[in-house]
Amino acid sequence: MRTALLLPAIFAACTPTPRPGGDGARGGPDLRILFTTDLSGTLEPCGCTSRPLGGIDRMGAVVSESRRSAAGTVFVTAGATFFKADGESAAQDRVDADALARILDRLGLDAVAAGTADLAAGPGELARIVAAGRFALLAAGAAASRQAGEVIREAGGRKVGIFGIADPSGTSDEALGSARASVERLSRGGAQVVIGLASAGRRSATRIAQSVPGIDFIVVGGVMATSVPPPQKVGDAHLLFGGRDGQGIGIVDLTIREDDPRFVDAGHQATTVAIGRLDRRIADLETRIHSWERARDAGVSPVEIARMRERLADLRRERDALTHRSVPSGRSTFVSRWEELGPERRKDPAVTAMIAQRDRRVAEVNRAALANERPVAAAPGSPSYIGGARCAECHEDAVTFWRGTKHAHAFTTLVDGGKELDLRCVGCHVTGYRRPGGSTALYNETLRAVQCEACHGPGSLHAAAGGTEDHATLVRDTPEPTCGGCHTQEHSDHFEFARYRSQIVGPGHGR
């Protein structure tokens, strides 16, 4: 059944709908859940970081491979999916959303719970985006923030119920009532595994798990953590966390015992995190005890040191128990893992081609949308940008050195990747972007790449004076905040001002 917009009334019968799944692979899990969260319209990572994580084409390869090795598979996502909260432009964001929806449908996405940024686009726009898809858009439509929807999918010969909640607070009585009604309908429809999709963060998901019985797993969107937390048990449900911007994909393998309706975590993800925390506490306490024993006048009594040694022994026993933890036989179990999508991962070539098609469409759309966006003129008496060719007339050594730096090739990097009109990229690959007397996405011919004026400021007055004015309009020693506008953690994760500065200072240019 093709689904564009699904609300609770539509699912009263909870008719199961088949989607691409496994082929009953022997030796694999009975059911595999693939999930991600907060894609935010991201199709591929910024290529400027030391190890770019993500890429919907890499995710596609993992999804295809995972389907082949499981008896049945469901694929879901929650949180801001099609739109980013701080998008660059409505036109480009719409292209990204359309492309992502087509790709997710190709990958066999079963259901998505809309996030706040998606809901802000409006129910009509959401319906348009997913109209060609076969996945269920849950908790969307009129009064979307107060509604829940559900769907049943068949995977591996089992019925999997999926419901969604997109209440911005996630804690209203109406939202909880909707979740409870969805779970009850899924149960009446014969769902053997129930998955919730919650888009409003951990607090919302926790309250749903505490208040609504009959849920096995909740995929939690809206958690913008720097690292992906392990599964968390709340009541009988397990909260699953999936990162952001498509940097990875969560995989949960289920072994199902028909006489055991509740799942036990038999994996190592949560255990590994717990052991890591214990190791840090043990190391800290060992250091403190050693320090106290060496400094006899530290004011810590032998009795207190002995008590801390007992505490240290307790921590070590706790760690040992985790290391040798076993799961009772005959239980329904799950094993979860988080797969980072690093640059070494294989890509799905068909999806890569769809991303390239998106790039061409972005260029086409932005070329039309930004045709009249010319650089704002500098105020009378203020300098404007003139380009590095003018600088070279007097500073030939400096410009010659600059040509050998990465800054000089910044725009070429975009052209090679087909991103020269991508508004998420171009601003840090040209000089004077959207500054008075500077450049725009379309009008930047003399200001392409990170040129002299990106660091030293616009130079028209300096050049007009033949280099004799007092440099009041120029910056000789560039301060760190100037670099920080582009060298952010998201785009330049190893940036260190002193070290990076040394790489762009050379003959005629600071030496």
* Integer Cα distance of 42 and 432 in angstroms: 26
Looking at residue 319, what is its pLDDT?
Answer: 81
Task: Give whole-number Cα distances, 445 to 292, 399, 430, in Å.
Answer: 66, 18, 9
Which residues is 234 bridged to in the sheet? 237
Which residue reads 């998955």 in tokens? 195
Question: In this structure, is residue 13 part of a structural domain?
Answer: no
Handedness of CA 279, 281, 287, 289 (dihedral sign): negative
Residues 450 and 302 in one domain: no
Whole-prediction pTM? 0.82
Question: In this structure, is residue 411 part of a structural domain?
Answer: yes
Q: Do residues 43 and 424 make contact, with C-beta atoms less than 8 angstroms apart? A: no
Number of structural domains (the chain) is 3
Residues 286 and 333 in one domain: no
Question: In this structure, is residue 222 part of a structural domain?
Answer: yes
What tokens appear for 6 in the block? Answer: 């699904």
Residues 82 and 156 in one domain: yes
CATH number of domain containing 423: 1.10.1130.10
Question: In this structure, is residue 9 part of a structural domain?
Answer: no
Question: In this structure, is residue 366 part of a structural domain?
Answer: no
Residues 414 and 436 in one domain: yes
Q: Do residues 483 and 407 make contact, with C-beta atoms less than 8 angstroms apart? A: no
Question: In this structure, is residue 248 part of a structural domain?
Answer: yes
Question: In this structure, is residue 402 part of a structural domain?
Answer: yes
Residues 313 and 193 in one domain: no
Is residue 380 packed enough to be buried (19+ CB in 10 Å), middle (13-18) or exposed (0-12)?
A: exposed
Half-sphere exposure of 214 (CA within 13 A, CB side): 18
C-alpha dihedral (490, 496, 502, 508), degrees to nearest 10: 50
What is the span of the domain harbouring residue 80? 29-266+328-354
Residues 314 and 346 in one domain: no
Residues 249 and 317 in one domain: no
Q: Apex CA 231: angle with CA 226 and CA 236, to 5°?
A: 145
Residues 382 and 477 in one domain: yes
Full pLDDT tens readout for the chain, 511 residues: 333 333 333 333 354 555 555 444 556 799 999 999 999 999 999 888 888 899 999 999 999 999 998 999 999 999 999 998 876 788 999 999 999 999 999 999 999 998 989 988 888 888 899 887 899 998 743 344 444 589 999 999 999 999 998 776 656 788 888 889 999 999 999 999 999 999 888 888 999 999 999 999 999 998 877 788 889 999 999 999 988 999 999 999 999 988 888 898 887 766 777 777 788 888 888 888 888 887 765 677 888 888 888 888 988 888 877 666 666 677 888 989 899 999 999 999 999 999 999 999 999 999 999 999 999 999 999 999 999 999 999 999 999 999 999 999 999 999 999 999 999 999 999 999 999 999 999 999 999 999 999 999 999 999 988 877 666 778 888 899 999 999 998 888 888 888 888 888 887 776 6
Residues 90 and 140 in one domain: yes
DSSP state of 378: P
Looking at residue 323, what is its pLDDT?
Answer: 67
Looking at residue 153, what is its pLDDT?
Answer: 96
Q: Apex CA 249: angle with CA 356 and CA 216, to 5°?
A: 140
Helices (H), 370-395: 388-392
* Integer Cα distance of 198 and 240 in angstroms: 10
Question: In this structure, is residue 206 part of a structural domain?
Answer: yes
CATH number of domain containing 239: 3.60.21.10
Residues 315 and 341 in one domain: no
Residues 310 and 254 in one domain: no
The answer for residues whose C-beta is within 8 angstroms of residue 361's C-beta and 6 or more apart is: 95, 99
How many angstroms from the chain centroid is the CA of residue 63?
17
Handedness of CA 220, 222, 225, 227 (dihedral sign): positive
Residues 158 and 174 in one domain: yes
